[in-house]
């Protein structure tokens, strides 16, 4: 008997990954194809949609061919993708723009204006997407102002997943999950939000039709079916957003179960059985499906902060480690462990790339606070690691205020390779942290959603059996007391420094403009 498989396709920021899973969650085969982020001016971050489409096809083609070579039965293909992208399409289905991705900040002036208005607050409370340059709402306002000739020609405005599926099936459809991250979608009524559309200057007919995350496409265009090669009747499941699916793949599918992911950036997410928004606008509220809503916040500064410190202050050690084929991060962990918890009163505000949750301020800046003559380079290293966790913990606190107690945390991402860093999360939060062996993150979440859509599992909660806990980290009560004292200082720093950050950002922007 042929073994059944399902393929999860994750359309990411710099690559697309296709992963074949057994129905027990086992990874059978995977392929990844990369593409560049295009940036030709300050704040620009775009993808070539045709490059992304080709990456999807190439990755999927190689996985499908492997499955055929080993006589596996393909049950379906399910999708995940990054959120907040925008492509303007003409009436003939051709792109008028490249794909403007979440990292593009050119709409920051529009976002700031909306955020300060009563209408902006009202829109957030209904859409669940914080007002920020990442959101398609702000991007549309910017495009209308800065490129009116493109805006007026556009027949449709879509994201990258919708572009790929339009090419494959000829239909403009958007899943509730991706729609809920646009700032244009009412998460309580599951339709486009009239006030947001009016503000953006578009109407519902210019946006894809919203459908559940279990929606199934069939009848792939013949030229793609022959290339892959798969039967034209193979079901393709629309799936959801990468963040929501990462929670599904990380044991975080029940209320009160939080997932912390720290890679280059980071995120904290918890599940709820109904949508909720934060009157202080600190959190996002996105949709996994009609019964599962993901509340949380993303931070810009995760592993990128440690990498910055490595590249800036450990250049000689990094070069030596590369020459000896050693892991520089193992060395950094050993160095950080020589410093007492709390870095002897040195704090790091980790806003190197501005910040999303909980402050949502692109002008925020990083800084060290509390340095004295006795602090050495290892102190600054440990302070960076602790500062990242303090930033993550501030999102955990906001979540608990909105969604209720979070008794445990499931952790994954690149930081999970550092037991020191994960233990910091336990000690700072005062919560048990479970390290999960999550196979391929969002792609696995897409596969689980596909299994549910195809009735191969009876509920999303059934996926728990496929997710393994590799280690448990228990908080140290004494260190938690120390860290709580430091956190009480940490959380006061941004409000006190906000005006200074704005002035420094203004100086930097002006200098950049003069240089260009």
CB neighbourhood size of 92 (10 A): 6
Q: For 170-187, what is the mean pLDDT?
A: 98
Stretch 259-288: mean pLDDT: 92
Domain-embedded: residue 338: yes
pTM recorded for the entire structure: 0.90
Rounded to an integer, the average pLDDT of 171-175 is 98
**Is residue 340 pLDDT above 90, yes or no?**
yes
Query: DSSP state, 128?
Result: -
Average pLDDT, the chain: 94
Where does residue 369 rank: exposed (0-12), middle (13-18), buried (19+ CB within 10 A)? Answer: middle
What is the DSSP track for 375-424? --HHHHHHHHHHHHHHHHHHHHHHHHHHH----EEEEESGGGG-HHHHHH
Average the pLDDT over each of 7-21, 132-146, 208-222, 254-268 and give the range with the smallest value.
254-268
Higher pLDDT pick, 513 / 474: 474
Q: Is residue 117 part of a domain?
A: no
User: How many residues are recorded in the chain?
Assistant: 516
More confident residue, 2 or 331: 331
Helix (H, G, I), strand (E, B) or coil at 203: coil
> For the residues 482-506, what does the mean pLDDT come to?
96
Highest mean pLDDT among 141-155, 254-268, 360-374, 399-413: 141-155
Look at residue 457 and tell me whether its pLDDT is greater than 80. Answer: yes
Q: Does position 516 have pLDDT exceeding 70, yes or no?
A: no
**pLDDT of amino acid 512:** 66
Q: Does residue 379 lie within any of the structural domains?
A: yes
Indicate the angle between helix axes 160-169 and 49-69, nearest 10 degrees: 60
DSSP-assigned states of every residue in 434-452: EEEE-TTHHHHHHHHHHHH
Percent residues over pLDDT 70 in the chain:
98
pLDDT band, residue 490 (cuts 50/70/90): very high
Average the pLDDT over each of 194-203, 265-274, 384-393 and give the range with the smallest value: 265-274
Burial zone of 55 (CB within 10 Å; 0-12 exposed, 13-18 middle, 19+ buried)? buried
Domain with 394 in it: what CATH number?
3.30.420.40
Q: Is 24 inside any structural domain?
A: no
Q: What is the DSSP string of 307-372?
A: HHHHHHH-HHHHHHHHHTT--HHHHHHHHHTTSPTTGGG-EEE--BTBB-TTT-BTT---EEES--
Domain-embedded: residue 355 = yes
Which pLDDT does position 387 carry in this prediction? 98
- Cα 163 to Cα 52: distance, rounded to the nearest angstrom: 9
Q: What value does the mean pLDDT take over residues 438-448?
A: 87
Number of domains in the chain: 1
pLDDT tens, position by position, 214-231: 999 999 999 999 899 898
Torsion angle of C-alpha atoms 87, 88, 90, 94, degrees rounded to 10: -20
Is a pLDDT exceeding 90 seen at residue 345?
yes
User: Is 184 within 8 Å of 132 (Cβ atoms)?
Assistant: no
pLDDT of residue 194: 98
Residue 307 lies in a domain: yes
Q: What are phi and psi of 35, to 5 degrees?
A: -160, 155
For residue 513, pLDDT beyond 70: no
Lowest-confidence segment of 88-102, 260-274, 415-429, 466-480 by average pLDDT: 260-274
Structure confidence at residue 511 (pLDDT): 73
Residue range of the domain that includes 354: 299-423+476-510
Q: Does the residue 483 lie in any domain?
A: yes
Is the per-residue pLDDT at 257 higher than 90? no
Residues 237-265 have a mean pLDDT of 90
Residue 515 has pLDDT above 80, yes or no: no
For residue 323, is it within any domain? yes
The band of 436, judged by pLDDT with boundaries at 50, 70 and 90, is confident
User: Is 105 a residue whose pLDDT tops 90?
Assistant: no
Instruction: Please say if the pLDDT value at position 514 is more than 80.
Output: no
Which range among 128-132, 483-487, 490-494, 507-511 shows the weakest confidence by mean pLDDT?
507-511
């Amino acid at each position: 008997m042929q073994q059944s498989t399902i393929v999860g396709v994750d359309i990411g920021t710099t690559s697309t990954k296709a992963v074949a899973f057994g129905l027990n969650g086992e990874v059978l085969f995977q392929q990844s194809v990369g593409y560049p982020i295009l940036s030709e001016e300050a704040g620009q971050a775009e993808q070539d949609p045709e490059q992304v489409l080709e990456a999807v096809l190439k990755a999927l083609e190689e996985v499908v061919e492997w499955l055929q070579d080993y006589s596996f039965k393909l049950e379906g293909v399910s999708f995940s993708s990054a959120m907040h992208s925008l492509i303007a399409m003409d009436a003939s289905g051709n792109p008028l723009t490249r794909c403007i991705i979440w990292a593009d900040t050119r709409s920051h002036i529009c976002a700031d204006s909306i955020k300060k208005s009563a209408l902006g607050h009202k829109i957030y409370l209904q859409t669940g997407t914080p007002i920020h340059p990442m959101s398609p709402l702000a991007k549309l306002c910017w495009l209308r102002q800065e490129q009116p000739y493109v805006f007026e020609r556009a027949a449709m405005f879509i994201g990258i997943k919708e572009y790929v599926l339009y090419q494959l099936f000829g239909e403009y459809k958007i899943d509730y999950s991706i729609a809920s991250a646009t700032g244009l979608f009412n998460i309580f009524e599951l339709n486009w939000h009239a006030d947001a559309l009016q503000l953006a200057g578009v109407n519902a007919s210019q946006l894809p039709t919203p459908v559940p995350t279990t929606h199934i496409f069939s009848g792939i265009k013949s030229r793609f079916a022959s290339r892959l090669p798969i039967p034209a009747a193979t079901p393709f499941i629309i799936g959801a957003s990468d963040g929501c699916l990462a929670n599904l793949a990380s044991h975080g599918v029940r209320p009160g179960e939080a997932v912390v992911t720290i890679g280059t950036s980071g995120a904290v997410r918890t599940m709820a059985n109904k949508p909720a928004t934060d009157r202080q606008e600190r959190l996002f509220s996105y949709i996994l499906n009609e019964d599962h809503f993901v509340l949380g916040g993303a931070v810009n500064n995760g592993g990128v902060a440690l990498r910055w410190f490595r590249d800036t202050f450990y250049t000689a050690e990094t070069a030596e480690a590369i020459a000896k084929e050693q892991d520089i991060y193992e060395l950094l962990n050993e160095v950080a462990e020589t410093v007492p918890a709390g870095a002897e009163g040195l704090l790091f505000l980790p806003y190197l790339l501005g910040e999303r949750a909980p402050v949502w301020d692109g002008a925020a800046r990083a800084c060290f606070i509390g340095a004295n003559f006795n602090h050495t380079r290892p102190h600054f290293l440990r302070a960076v690691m602790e500062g990242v966790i303090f930033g993550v913990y501030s999102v955990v606190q906001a979540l608990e205020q909105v969604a209720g107690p979070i008794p445990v945390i499931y952790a994954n991402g690149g930081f999970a390779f550092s037991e020191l860093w994960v233990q910091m999360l336990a000690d700072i939060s005062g919560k048990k942290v479970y390290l999960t062996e999550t196979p391929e993150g969002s792609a696995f979440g897409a596969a689980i959603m596909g299994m549910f859509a195809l009735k191969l599992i009876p509920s999303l909660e059934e996926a728990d059996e496929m997710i393994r806990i590799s280690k448990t980290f228990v908080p140290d009560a004494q260190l938690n007391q120390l860290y709580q004292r430091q956190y009480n200082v940490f959380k006061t720093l941004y409000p006190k420094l906000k005006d200074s950050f704005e002035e420094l950002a203004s100086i930097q922007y002006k200098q950049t403009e003069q240089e260009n």
